[in-house]
Structure 1
Amino acid sequence: MTDRASELRAEGRDVISLSVGEPDFDTPPHVIQAAKDALDAGDTRYTPVTGTARLKEAAALHFRRDLGIATDPSQVIITAGGKQAIFEALAATISAGDEAIVPSPWWVSYPQMVRFCGGTVVPLRTSAANGYRFHPSELEALITPRTNWLLLNSPGNPTGAVYPAEMLRGIGEVLRRHPQVLVMSDDIYAPLRYSDAPHATLAVECPDLADRIITVSGVSKSHAMTGFRIGVATGPDWLISAMGRLQSNSSGNPCSISQAAAVAAFDGPQDFLADWREAFRRRRDMVVQRINAIEGLSTPVPDGAFYCLIDAAPLMSRFDGDDGKLALHLLNHGVATVAASAFGGADGFRISFAADEAVLAQALDRIEKALS
């Protein structure tokens, strides 16, 4: 949808894109300066495959300070974006026929990665009625002897759902009864939460399970550095080592300049995040209010990230039950969204509110007109 919106713009069409998942803010100046300094210093050579010692130290600081995970730099791997860390962990552990439980709606790449590795995706259905969260008993009902992964994303894409500490502890109780199950905790959106409660993550709430949990983070969402392609992950030595061997024989080290910039991101000032969160909160509130005022549309209030997953079930008969047709209809009216079916959902679409409030207001006007 993002590519199609760009094509239409190139043809002279006026299209507002709410399909892409990246902050619209500028990368902080101290991060840009660190990248320039690295270039001027000639830091343009290979680095250690799994990242520089300096960035591993900065990432370990991030995991301790921002997520509460006490980790050692030796248990950290630096990857070319958080996506690579997730892929490597799955590729190192999934064999043909293994099962991965993935809560849906899910981030689009989770099931594709599992299938690429020969695994079977087991959807764990959630709905807006329960805030797009599942009960631990629903998880246990899906576990079989072939289950070897549970994928968690909190705050989540595309729903903005956040798993509170008590729910994570309940999930931990289930996992203790099934020692073969590993857990992917994708916490990339952790800095973008809108409640007063501290961020909760499984490795902290259930430390006895730490040797089965890998936690993924990065700088893309928190520091508007999507193009720098830096992800960080921490987990048990055996898994981090296996991921490193895969990385050595596939991509090699992440970009040296991007690593220097990421050091500045983790080590530098974090106070700008408060302003960013408040801006996202205002946008969220405006979008939720406007969407819920449009006949046939509804959305819960997301607790984190910068997405709304919008239910359009009452309108789907107009689009032959195909939310892809709905998304194309909105695109023809000048707004690029993503169909809910792309995320394992149905009967709706996702929008990103990582856009200026005036732009969002114009996009919502177009959505309302298109569906009126």
Structure 2
Amino acid sequence: MSTDDATPRSPRPAPLSSGRARISQRIGAIEPSATLAVDATAKALKAAGRPVIGFGAGEPDFPTPQHIVDAAVEAAQDPRNHRYSATPGLPELRQALAEAFSGTTGLSIEPAQVLVTNGGKQAVFQTFATLLDPGDEVLLPAPYWTTYPEAIRQAGATEVPVLAGADQGYLPAVAQLEAARTERTRALVLCSPSNPTGAVLAPEQIEEIGRWALEHGLWVITDEIYHSLTYDGVPFTSVLRAVPELAETTVLLGGVAKSFAMTGWRVGWMVGPVDVIKATTNLQSHLTSHVNNIAQHAALAAVTGPTEPVEQMREAFDRRRRLIVAKLSEVPGFTVPTPTGAFYVFPDVSGALGREIRGKQVATSTDLATVILEEAEVAAVPGEAFGAPGHLRFSYALNDDDITEGIDRVIALLSE
């Protein structure tokens, strides 16, 4: 065949310019999720036959309640759910969420203020993308969830960690926030109950912080995904109930993952001012469009259905919380504040550092987590991932026997 008869070929791509990285700086700078990495390592070791007990993932070990699964099965059989739907979410789900948040905030929330997202993480990224510009700063109380700083940086802004240690119950004080505020401060992130610490801000603390944010014209981005998981009679308080005047400068984030054992269903939400939700909906229309219709119907069943399954899971978490705190308090060198929310405990492990364990030098909490995994076959997440070196995060979203066995291994290892 002559070259004249051949099908024309596309020109070969030009080589990358000298010194130019293949991956963009913006994406290349993203750190992998430490919590997911630890969980993946634990699962891989289990698959290889090692008896690893994983305390890494923030994932309930319960099945999704049956009435929610049934709603999904029914929805899957309806051809209407086999088609595209509106980007901001199914109208009935947005209505239900508006009613639910009207109850928790004491305000009149309208469906136009609700956007349904593909899990809580999408809500986090989209909120920062919508509110922040390059050069903005975001006050980020530490210890913090690992995704927050990455999402802030992707928006071109800068996180400003404000560390509250175990000595203050991991709860930030207004004086600390004020000391970190500059003319570039645009927003404040709140997470109560907290991931990774399980700390819960008291109503008066929420009000004090909220009024300070209002005084200085800051956006408040409040992650309330653990709102139904509190213990010892400690109440959950939404910042909008404490300071309703913040309604035009607050975005609430949440989802079904934690309270309903629905981590794999990927349904989250944003609740905020109409103009913010409209702008973010426009972003989502280009990014992912709407959330899976079947999952949305499951979420509707979750937020409108019986509360008994949620309470049963909360009671189990409470029992496990007391068990793991008691067990971790026996570990040499650990100081263990008692969490009052979520399903994490965040011991200060600095007393266990600066030593050799089975021939390995342990100088940091990352070193300690590595040794515990390699020598005791127990997976925990080091505090460096949460902006709090010298700590480990243990999730107690696993059964009682595994909690006991896992922490007993740690006790034995660190008692050598």
In the alignment, structure 2 segments of 5+ residues that lack a partner are 1-37, 356-360
Gaps of 5+ in 1: none
179, 182, 189: which one aligns with 1:151:
189
Q: CA contact under 8 A between 2:202 and 2:235: conserved in structure 1?
A: no
Matched, 1:337 2:375: no
Cα distance change on mapping 1:224 and 1:67 into 2, 3 Å = farther
Q: Could you tell me which of 153, 170, 176 is aligned with 2:214?
A: 176
| Aligned-pair CA distance for 1:273 | 2.0
Pick aligned residue for 2:412 from 351, 364, 369: 369
Larger Rg: 2
Give the corresponding residue for 1:70.
108
Task: Using the TM superposition, give the Cα deviation of residue 26 of structure 1 relative to its aligned residue in structure 2, in angstroms.
Answer: 1.1
**Match for 1:229 among 266, 275, 289?**
266
Distance in 2 separating the partners of 1:65 and 1:96: 36
CA apart distance, 1:197: 4.1
Offset of 1:142 from its aligned partner? Answer: 1.3
Question: Aligned equivalents of 2:266 and 2:90: distance in 1?
Answer: 15
Contact 1:76 / 1:234 at 8 angstroms: preserved in 2?
Answer: yes
Deviation sequence 1:117-142 (CA, Å, 0-9, x none): 11111011101111100111211121
What is the letter of the counterpart of residue 237 of structure 2?
Answer: A
Structure 1 residue 65, shift from structure 2 partner = 3.6
Counterpart in 2 of 1:82?
A: 120
* Alpha-carbon contact 1:67-1:199 (below 8 Å) kept: no
Aligned 8 A contact 2:105 2:240 in 1: no
Instruction: Report the alpha carbon displacement of residue 169 of structure 1 after superposing the two structures with TM.
Output: 1.3
Matched with 2:178 is 140
Q: Runs of 4 or more off by more than 6 Å in structure 1? A: none
Aligned partner of 1:60 among 93, 98, 110: 98
Question: What CA deviation, in whole Å up to 9, does each residue of 1:319-358 have, x standing for no partner?
Answer: 4422112111111111111001111011121010011101
Q: Which amino acid aligns with 2:244?
A: P
2: CA distance, partners of 1:217 / 1:172: 19
Residue 195 of structure 1 corresponds to 232
TM-score, structure 1 normalization: 0.97
Normalised to the residue count of structure 2, the TM-score between the two structures is 0.87
How many Å separate the matches in 2 of 1:9 and 1:67?
43
Residue type at the aligned position of 1:316: L
The aligned amino acid for 1:44 is H
Deviations 1:96-133 (A, max 9, x none): 11100000010000011111111111011101111100
In structure 2, relative to structure 1, the CA distance for the partners of 1:166 and 1:187 (3 Å cut) is: same
Match of 1:260 in 2: 297
Return the alpha-carbon distance in structure 1 between the equivalents of residues 107 and 334 of structure 2. Answer: 39
- Say if 1:99 and 1:121, in contact at 8 Å, map to a contact too: yes
Q: In the alignment, residue 353 of structure 1 is paired with which amino acid?
A: Y
Q: Classify the secondary structure of the residue corresponding to 1:20.
A: coil
8 Å contact from structure 1 (residues 189, 305) kept in 2 = yes
**How far apart are the structure 2 equivalents of 1:75 and 1:193?**
26
- Give 1:52 deviation, angstroms: 0.7
Tell me what 1:127 maps to: 165
Matches of 2:323 and 2:106 in 1, distance apart? 32
Identity of aligned residues (%): 38
Rounded to whole Å, the distance in 2 between the matches of 1:150 and 1:241 is: 21
Cα gap change, 1:264 to 1:363, in 2 (>3 Å): same
> Which residue identity lines up with residue 344 of structure 1 in the other structure?
G
1:160 shift after superposition: 0.4
CA contact (8 A) 1:192 1:277 kept: yes
Query: Which residue of 286, 300, 323 corresponds with 2:337?
Result: 300
Q: CA deviation at 1:312?
A: 1.0
- Number of matched pairs: 371
Letter aligned with residue 358 of structure 1: D
Q: Is 1:326 aligned to 2:368, yes or no?
A: yes
Partner of residue 8 from structure 1, selected from 45, 51, 54: 45
CA separation in 1, counterparts of 2:294 and 2:76? 7
- 1:294 Cα deviation from its structure 2 partner: 1.6
CA distance in 2, matches of 1:320, 1:337: 15
Answer yes or no: is 1:313 the counterpart of 2:350. Answer: yes
Secondary structure of residue in 2 paired with 1:310: coil
Q: Which has the higher contact order (CA 8 A, sep 6+)?
A: 1
The structure 2 residue matched to 1:209, chosen from 227, 234, 246, is: 246
